[in-house]
Amino acid sequence: MTVRARERDALLKALRAGLVPLIGQHHIQAGRTAELAALSADVERVAVGGTAVRFVIGEHGAGKTFLLRRARSLALDKRLVTMHADITTEHLLHSTEGRARALYTELTRGMATRGTPAGGALAGIVERFLSAALDEARQTRTDPALAIGERLAYLATRPGGHDFAEVIIAYWRGHDTGDDHLKSAALRWLRAEYPTAAEARSALGVRSIIDDATVPDHIALMSRFVRLAGYDGLLVCLDEMVNLYTLADPLARDANYDQILGLVSSGVAHLGFVFGGTPEFLRDGHSGLFSHPALRRRLGGGAFAAVGPVDHSGPVLRLAALTAEEVYVVLAKIRFVYASGEGGRYLVDDDALVAFMHHCFGRVGEVYFRRPRTTFKAFCDLLAVLERDAGESWRRLLPGVDLSAEEVDGRPA
């Protein structure tokens, strides 16, 4: 298998920073077969007109973000559009202070298609919709504005859809007349970047903006719009959901949980959600999702939700610890990537992989199975030293590889 230089550099840079790589994840994939199959089935369901909701639950460093990235890759391969963002104190699902609007802005900035996997795909999606409408107008000898309006008629009947449609038409006017300012204003509105309705009315002639209260409506509108643009659906990925669990204000926390319930119960066709969170975010009966009775019932929060065999049929995917064999496979794949896919350029042999695993287990115990991110980071650091100094020996360096400092607070650095 060839490892492209761009993928190699992105993978190793991300791994050494303790982050999930944006591209090339398949090169280091091992294990999680059942979880990926479940997410793949969700993507298929969305593509054929259904809905899907998944909560990927695991400890910090267990691979939640990696799985969310793989879910996005699967969705892009199936001609879906993806949106993604992290929940933070400034980006919430429910707010009265602009924080939900800020989250929507992040989601739209992260919009991706197969041709634009890194994000920033919104303008291209609008252009694709207009291109299809204009092609139809030429074929039927219809006025372009009429053809565009007819395609948007369905959206105009939905909550918030009238102004959404007007903004798309405004973008077309800008495109048709060469008015880049008007096109830019339309994209600002679609990204929820107008803080007041007065500013939007001055720029576009519409009476509303995307605000905190209308974010769910506009996620649903966007899922319908991408279908009109020729895609098969929309997958929304929200990571770091634990930041809702840690909100100090219980009323704000419960309001965000209500918003989650509304999203997962919406039943909008061709729309799916994947949420990433920690076990306490899910199970804590005082502050977690299970403190919300309706969500507890929906997510199967029974007495045995946290124990017993892993169940991949429900909405919750609980990430089990990687096995020793799976960790070994990932280390071997990292070695392969580091060598650009050329076995003759390996910096360490198989004995080094086994020795490295024994060293990690001796330092942090079974934690390195449950939170492998730190292990992989340390291995990349070791390979980097060996690459810089060809005369250095992994046997001499290995005792100095220290993982314990990064696990003091239970989270990887």
Q: DSSP secondary structure string, 184-211? A: HHHHHHHTT--SSHHHHHHHH--S----
| Residue for token pair 């699902």 | 93
Q: What is the DSSP letter of 20?
A: -
- The pair of structure tokens assigned to 6 is 């761009």
- What value, to the nearest 5°, has the Cα angle with vertex 242 and ends 240 and 245? 150
Amino acid letter, residue 3: V
Q: 212 is written with which tokens?
A: 């905190």
Q: Are strands 234-239 and 51-57 parallel, antiparallel or unpaired?
A: unpaired
Closest alpha carbon to 26 in 73, 94, 60: 73
Tokens of 394: 């992994």
**Rounded CA gap, 369 and 386, in Å?**
25
| Of 340, 327, 342, nearest in space to 379 by CA | 327
Amino acid type, 9: D
Residues 6+ apart with CB under 8 A from 165: 149, 152, 153, 155, 156
pLDDT number for residue 402: 75
Distance of alpha carbon 119 from alpha carbon 116, whole angstroms: 6
List of domains in the chain:
1-30+322-413 (no CATH), 32-119+232-318 (3.40.50), 122-192 (no CATH)
> Among candidates 306, 273, 311, which has minimal Cα distance to 288?
306
Sign of CA dihedral 64, 284, 214, 219: positive
Instruction: Residue 316: name the closest of 326, 308, 324 by CA.
Output: 308
In this structure, the strands spanning 51-57 and 271-277 are parallel
Assigned token pair, 135: 């092609």
Question: What pTM does this model have?
Answer: 0.83
CA angle 404, 410, 413 (to 5 degrees): 65
Instruction: Measure the CA–CA gap between 106 and 109, rounded to whole angstroms.
Output: 5
Low-confidence residues of the chain: pLDDT under 50: 302-309, 405-413
CA 71 to chain centre: 8
Q: With CA atoms as reference, report the closest residue to 17 among 390, 377, 384, 403.
A: 377
Contact (CB, 8 A) for 288 and 281: yes
Tokens of 85: 């963002």
**What distances in angstroms separate CA 239 from CA 137, 306, 317, one per listed residue?**
41, 21, 14
Contact 363, 403 (CB under 8 A): yes
Is residue 55 within 8 Å of 87, Cβ to Cβ?
Answer: no
**Strands (E) located in 193-289:** 234-239, 271-277
Q: How far apart are CA 94 and CA 359, in angstroms?
A: 45
Its sign, for the CA torsion 184, 190, 191, 197, is: positive
How many other CB atoms are there within 10 angstroms of residue 160's CB atom? 19
- Burial class of residue 341 in the structure, from the number of CB atoms within 10 Å of its CB (0-12 exposed, 13-18 middle, 19+ buried): middle
Distance CA 276, CA 11 (A): 21
